[in-house]
Structure 1
Amino acid sequence: MALRLSKTLLRSNQHVRLLSTDRMQSVENYEAVLDKFAQIRACAVLRTATSEACPKAMQAAIDGGFEICEFTLTTPNCLDHLADFRKKYDGKVMIGCGTILTIADAEAAMDAGSEFIITPVMLPDVIQWCKERNIVCVPGCQTPTELVSAYRHGAPLQKLFPGVAGGPMWVKAVSSALPFLSINPTSGVDLDNAADFLKNGAASVGLVAPLFDQAAIAAGDFDKIAQNAAKVMANVRTAGPYQRKK
């Protein structure tokens, strides 16, 4: 009886371990994602009001030079579009998912093919879930305290959101005082100041409204999005690659 019980418990524990490592990524994949962020240093962050506009806008950003793209869950049919772009550009353009608020959101994003996870606020449970699975999680933070907390919970990049007074100089001050952080501003970054953030301590930046001009999208002027992308990526390249924090 005791032996049968022990075997049952063993099988149960094995099942728990299997469940705890679902959607596991390799260490090599984890490192490759961070290397891509360090090399490219800019991510196109897309929100559109309609499902129809989403793939057209993101395609324009890629045509303009972006190699890291984030689809956000606030966009209708976000995960369908994410899956389509992941299949189309696998190995060429890195595709991630943002506005993740729960572990269930993160699971759905990974099932759709997301290569990294972005949250709008600091969510320790999501960070930990990602850390256990070698998934790069970039959580939203607004203060130095939140940035450090995200780092201590296991986030290798920390998203600065929303923008703060001082912009690049704020990033410079915080990076100087807390040099172990790898800050990713995604608000307050525009087509002209992206390199300023990078040259003053930011690891990478996210481009949202300045890249994806909503008036241009509404008018179907996706050439404007491609032009915005080309302009900001030329700006970003002047900063050179980022030296990753180990």
Structure 2
Amino acid sequence: MALRIAATKSLRASTTASVSRRAFSSLDRMQTKENYEAVLQKFAEIRACAVLRTPTSEACPKAMQAAIDGGFKICEFTLTTPDCLDHLADFRQKYDGDVMVGCGTILNTEDAEKAIDAGSEFIITPVMLPDVIEWCAARNIVCVPGCQTPTELVNAYRHGAPLQKLFPGVAGGPMWVKAVSSALPFLSINPTSGVDLDNAGEYLKHGAASVGLVAPLFTPEAIATGDWDQIAKNAEKVMNNVRPVGPYIRK
């Protein structure tokens, strides 16, 4: 019986390894190491990403254009936005080499494939998804997975995520990031909830590698009324708080 159990465990392990090998044997959508490094360097230099969700397709490009006009150089289109990938592709073509565009709310490798095909330069997940992280890591694609606890942040790092998204926000704000960054200095934390127009710089000063701006940048009121000028003003205020902190020293 013991031998049978051992054999079964061995077979399961072998099957799992075989599936894993098949998953990565055909590395379609492979990116270059240089591209991977360029994406990380852009995050390190700019340190702030505009994260957009809109209830209508029509509002999406207008809102993101306003954020870019206000100074943002990194933009994330989320799959919860209607026609997200079409808008992402348009902005990638329009701003290629100037503004870096990525895709968020990625929940599986199929989502990641579609995002990369549309021109996404990085992948963001709302939660810690090892299969997506490993799929990206095998292809030199920067993946920034959503994490809530120090344990999840470390696990994301171990699976191959060079940046770790802190989502949703945690009590303690910048001081929480400082405590975790001090204890786990190999992490590069990207808070993307709880960051507003005034405290973005504080997060960076207290150890965050970069930050993501969602509702405080793209306020529901501005989206609903089409007040793109207000979004541009919000973006300008954020970037004025971020730029003085300077570049992030990559790890």
After TM superposition, the score normalised by the length of structure 2 is 0.90
SS in 1 for 2:222: helix
SS in 2 for 1:238: helix
Deviation at 1:17, TM superposition (A): 9.1
SS in 2 for 1:91: coil
In 2, Cα distance between equivalents of 1:132 and 1:216: 40
SS in 1 for 2:231: helix
In 2, Cα distance between equivalents of 1:200 and 1:115: 27
1:176 to 182, 193, 200: 182
In 1, Cα distance between equivalents of 2:23 and 2:64: 38
2:19 paired residue number? none
Per-residue CA deviation, residues 146-197 of structure 1 (Å, 9 max, x unaligned), is 0000000000000000000000000000000000000000000000000000
- Matched residue type, 1:197: Y
- Structure 1 unmatched ranges of 5 or more: 1-15
In 2, Cα distance between equivalents of 1:239 and 1:20: 42
Q: Does residue 40 of the first structure (1) align with residue 52 of the second (2)?
A: no
Deviation at 1:217, TM superposition (A): 1.2
2:29 paired residue number? 23
CA 1:208–1:237: 2 relative to 1, 3 Å = same
2:196 paired residue number? 190
Per-residue CA deviation, residues 119-151 of structure 1 (Å, 9 max, x unaligned), is 000000000000000000000000000000000
2:106 paired residue number? 100
In 1, Cα distance between equivalents of 2:202 and 2:24: 45
- Matched residue type, 1:154: G
1:64 to 70, 94, 97: 70
In 1, Cα distance between equivalents of 2:24 and 2:170: 42
In 1, Cα distance between equivalents of 2:160 and 2:241: 30
SS in 2 for 1:71: strand
SS in 1 for 2:245: coil
Q: Does residue 158 of the first structure (1) align with residue 171 of the second (2)?
A: no
1:222 paired residue number? 228
In 2, Cα distance between equivalents of 1:77 and 1:140: 23
SS in 2 for 1:229: helix
Count of aligned positions: 230
SS in 2 for 1:82: helix
After TM superposition, the score normalised by the length of structure 1 is 0.92
- Matched residue type, 1:160: L
- Matched residue type, 2:177: V
2:153 paired residue number? 147
Deviation at 1:231, TM superposition (A): 0.4
- Matched residue type, 1:215: E
SS in 2 for 1:241: coil
CA 1:19–1:206: 2 relative to 1, 3 Å = same
Give aligned-pair identity as a percent: 83
Deviation at 1:238, TM superposition (A): 1.5
In 2, Cα distance between equivalents of 1:29 and 1:126: 19
Instruction: Output aligned runs, 1:122-141, within 5 Å.
Output: 122-141=128-147
| 2:24–2:138 Cα contact (<8 Å) kept | no
2:125 paired residue number? 119
- Structure 2 unmatched ranges of 5 or more: 1-21
Deviation at 1:21, TM superposition (A): 0.9
1:240 to 219, 243, 246: 246
In 2, Cα distance between equivalents of 1:62 and 1:56: 10
In 2, Cα distance between equivalents of 1:229 and 1:32: 23
Deviation at 1:20, TM superposition (A): 2.1
Deviation at 1:214, TM superposition (A): 1.1
1:90 paired residue number? 96
1:51 paired residue number? 57
SS in 2 for 1:215: helix
